[in-house]
Structure 1
């Protein structure tokens, strides 16, 4: 990458660019801290116990003009005449006098059981609860409910009892873990109705204790945060796209074929553009339940390209390495990235892929599914550890190589000295920027974990979680922009070859010779002359 902008840029211009990026980074954080609300909201619903003696498949509504016949407690006289199969737990989402919106993007639901301890009906170990669940929707309070999904699912019931299991402690409640219940990838309707039945027979729902109530916690993205998030993607998307197109145009003006590092930088710009595409605008008008899966694919493509870029960038700056400009030279490091990404993609498809047809499905529902998921996570974690160990080894090798070259600089010819100074400066600059991005990511993540809510600064409220998301998103966009801009071929490089026309008049050289000109250890005499002219101007 001889003649990159970063080599020909003055210190003043470089500082100005750094200040420009810093200003946009601060703006990205402030937008999330002061403008955007909290990313998500959690709404608590207490399920209404409706009576369905005929056990017909009808939708039971907890409130309104057509509300179901209901009981408030299983201790009521009426409840004692009922069978467990006659009870349907109904939840209307959202609460009265409110409505859902496509701006909420998605909806998750978690179950929480209130189970009382009874000596004659305790919770058995490793018990499975069977849930007959249905979801319906409507967009008008006067219209009929339309069935959207229905499924019979099983979930492991994990509860503990903190006090001794004796008669004196009967009536106390178990401490039960929340149960993942539903994940809906689109909120395209105003009202939703959830009906839950716990069927009981000789083999189903035996040993689950005496259930008193069912709580549902509904989680969705806040509409205000969605507006801020889509607006940021709308701003960054054309910016990175134009920068990527400009970069490739600069590369195409070169009198040689693009080298591997230039190609991977171009791929990094494309992956960032793909991540920035604001598809959410269209999802507001369509019921696209695959949006969560699509967003995971977007992030996966970006991180795969970013990790591959780091490996190739370090390898191409090993100045004594003979085999460069070949993807095959990094086959096992890039292979680790491909393998880890494939494992995570399979895991994502096994969960969110099935949600496209059944939002009640959970891969964690069975022991076999849990073991399979844990195996995927462990294997992906091992691949990630091997990758970072390899990356660290390459970084150490490059710095060791740099140290040796720095000691040899006084004895080198002037053209060779300037070439190595440019390579060393490029590498150190990228390492500094990369470490700064990683440090900011870790710092923001720790702040969001330590802080359970917004910060208050005088009369202002700072949303820490929103600032983390918008700040990190803005930071990686600025990082990619800086890489694309600074490592693009400089216009001075073209003027030196063509007298300022921007297009070289010299005949195109074979790729192998040009690669040696850019990265080789032994440069021909012509290389010294060209490099010296660039340095002098």
Structure 2
């Protein structure tokens, strides 16, 4: 009777494999914590208030905040008193990045947010549910002597959420509001060296545009992008892990095809998990250095979604195929009630991503959260996906409980076996429980590190040693799931060893069908009929 490698491997060898994987896991965390810089950086600049008499920004003239051809600008709005300059003549202009620096394709993406400085004035206070209307245009160039070329332009609306920390009295006039940052745009690639933003806040009283937004003093433009140093470490890690997963996947499938039987469901799902991991690992990001692939963020979300959907489906099948009292197994249709919510939740998140980043491929200023309808639709997708995730987690816990309960019940029959066979099955049960604990630990570690990076400052100092916690999180968790998939394909590949058939019935006190059900895999079972057939055949022998 041949089983998986995990069934036939000695405890010593299994411990060596575990130690090796643990060392590689520690190495993955150290690569991010000690070698890579923090994942993201930001550039903050105060927009220059240029004076422009055009009605809109959709012309060929670009207003430059500094340098050759600098626009006519004002330091504060008090300078407009006595002049024929209104809010419709003011354009906020800024360069990204500030001179003498330049952007790089290694930055991968760029997120731009706005931080307004608004002072309180009783005659012009911020109304409840105030909305900003932005006439915004963006240009780029790769040489300081080139002309600016338009990249995108749009008229967008953003909600203005501000609070005044002091009472709204005449004595507090001039105090600044505390306002939430406003997301402006997101680029999926940083293919050019220099960018220019022109932003106008047009006022139209008949149409009630930009009324009740308070007295805006200044606009801070913050650009967030991925660190080039982190990108290099990330690319190197993906390049290293890709061939390792491909090699183990080919080796795993070759072992399966060498068997006289056809692959069973559990083996197929593990192979699918390897394919999805390879899909994430493929370092196609290298091409984004030379090409302006603005869809890389969306593509990355799709790859990650496919992997996690496959992983969640694998856990359901893995537990179900070890349910010893289950009458039907080895068919994916048996798990449609469990896999269905996974597919539906993944579809909801995919739809939400397409509504956000899909539209941003054409208009980088677009955000689904800007309108009430869009925000409600987006929230509905997220809520449905969250409900599916909760139902999945509860059912998975129930399945794990059932598997452990059934295994505990079968353990009562072990004393009737011969010593050799009893030790064999005790080892199988222990290894199954051990793998389940590792699985839960991987999932818990992902959640713990995610929460830790949200509440920490991003780095720890141990003496003179500086550990970048956020970078360690990204490389460590990424390496952990690669090691998990690698270990699954290695340990659950068919073994070439055969368990001694001379002890099949000797002193076991159990039927062959019960013995077969005690193994941690069912690679040798095609269903209940096959179990009884094998049991009857061995009894006759």
> TM above 0.5, one fold?
yes
Listed as ranges, the matches of 1:377-456 within 5 Å are: 377-411=382-416, 421=426, 424-456=429-461
Q: Which residue does the alignment assign to 2:181?
A: 178
2:535 to 516, 524, 527: 524
Match of 2:496 in 1: 491
CA distance in 2, matches of 1:454, 1:52: 45
Q: 1:527 to 1:101 in 2, by over 3 A?
A: farther
**2: distance between equivalents of 1:457 and 1:528?**
66
Q: Aligned equivalents of 1:32 and 1:361: distance in 2?
A: 33
Counterparts of 1:256-275 in structure 2, within 5 Å, are: 256-275=261-280
User: What is the 5 A alignment of 1:225-264?
Assistant: 225-264=230-269
Pick aligned residue for 1:221 from 208, 226, 229: 226
Decide which moves more: 258-267 or 73-82: 73-82
Please tell me whether residue 12 in structure 1 is matched to residue 15 in structure 2: no
Check whether the contact 1:122–1:207 (CA below 8 A) recurs between aligned residues: yes
In structure 2, distance between residues paired with 1:148 and 1:66:
20
Report SS of the residue matched to 2:78.
Answer: coil
Do 2:105 and 2:189's aligned partners in 1 also have CA atoms closer than 8 Å? yes
Alpha-carbon spacing, 1:356–1:521, altered in 2? closer, same or farther (3 Å)? farther
1:517 touches 1:523 (CA, 8 Å); kept in 2? no
Deviations 1:118-143 (A, max 9, x none): 11111111121110111110000010
Residue 180 of structure 1 deviates from its aligned partner by 1.0
Give the C-alpha shift of residue 514 in structure 1: 4.9
Distance in 2, Cα, partners of 1:73 & 1:129:
20
Alpha-carbon contact 1:46-1:91 (below 8 Å) kept:
yes
Whether 1:317 and 2:322 are equivalent positions in the alignment is yes
Work out whether 1:145 is the aligned partner of 2:148. yes
**Residues 416 and 528 of structure 1 are in contact (CA less than 8 Å); yes or no, is this contact kept in structure 2?**
no
Aligned residue in 1 for 2:290: 285
Map 1:68-217 to 2 at 5 A.
68-77=71-80, 80-202=83-205, 203=207, 204-217=209-222
Aligned in 2, Cα 1:63/1:404: closer, same or farther, shift over 3 Å? same
2:304 maps to 1:299: yes
Aligned length: 516
How far apart are 1:455 and its partner, in Å?
A: 1.5
* 8 Å contact kept, 1:50–1:89: yes
CA distance in 1, matches of 2:339, 2:303: 19
Deviation at 1:464, TM superposition (A): 0.6
Whole-Å Cα distance in 1 between the matches of residues 353 and 414 of structure 2?
A: 51
Distance 1:419 1:337, change over 3 A: farther
Q: Which runs of 5+ in 1 are unaligned?
A: 497-510, 531-537
Distance in 1 (alpha carbons) for counterparts of 2:154 and 2:286:
31
Relative to structure 1, the CA distance from residue 158 to residue 309 in structure 2 (aligned partners, 3 Å threshold; closer, same or farther) is same
**Paired residue for 1:364?**
369
Give, in whole Å, the separation in 2 of the partners of 1:235 and 1:352.
29
Structure 1 length-normalised TM: 0.91
Q: Which residue of structure 2 lines up, in the alignment, with residue 46 of structure 1?
A: 46
The residue aligned with 1:535 is none
8 A Cα contact 1:516 1:523, kept in partner: no
- What is the CA distance between 1:163 and its match in structure 2? 1.6
C-alpha distance in 2 between matches for 1:362 and 1:345: 16
d(CA) in 1 for partners of 2:90 and 2:468? Answer: 42
Cα offsets for 1:167-207 (capped at 9, x unmatched):
11111111111111110000000000011011111221111
Q: Which whole-Å deviations, capped at 9, do the CAs of 1:73-108 have from their partners, x for residues lacking one?
A: 001146853011111100100011100000000000
Report if the CA contact (8 A) 2:321-2:330 is conserved.
yes
SS in 1 for 2:365: coil
Superposition deviation, residue 424 in structure 1: 2.5
- Range with greater deviation from structure 2 (355-364 or 70-79): 70-79
Change (3 A) 1:399 1:70: same
Residue 418 of structure 1: how far off its partner (Å): 7.4
1:283-330 per-residue CA deviation (whole Å, 9 max, x = no partner) reads: 100000000000001110100010000000000001111100011111
Moved more, 479-488 or 175-184: 175-184
- Structure 2 CA distance for partners of 1:518 and 1:4, relative to 1, 3 Å: farther
Structure 1 residues 345 and 489: CA distance shift in structure 2, 3 A: same
Q: Which residue of 1 aligns with 2:331?
A: 326
Change (3 A) 1:518 1:30: farther
Q: Which residue of 468, 472, 485 corresponds with 2:473? A: 468
Summarize the alignment of residues 501-516 of structure 1 with structure 2, pairs less than 5 Å apart.
514-516=525-527
Separation (CA, whole Å) in 1 of partners of 2:136 and 2:540: 77
Distance (whole Å) between structure 2 residues aligned to residue 442 and residue 360 of structure 1: 31
Query: How far off its partner does 1:65 sit?
Result: 1.3
> Is residue 51–residue 69 contact of structure 1 (8 Å, CA) maintained in 2?
yes
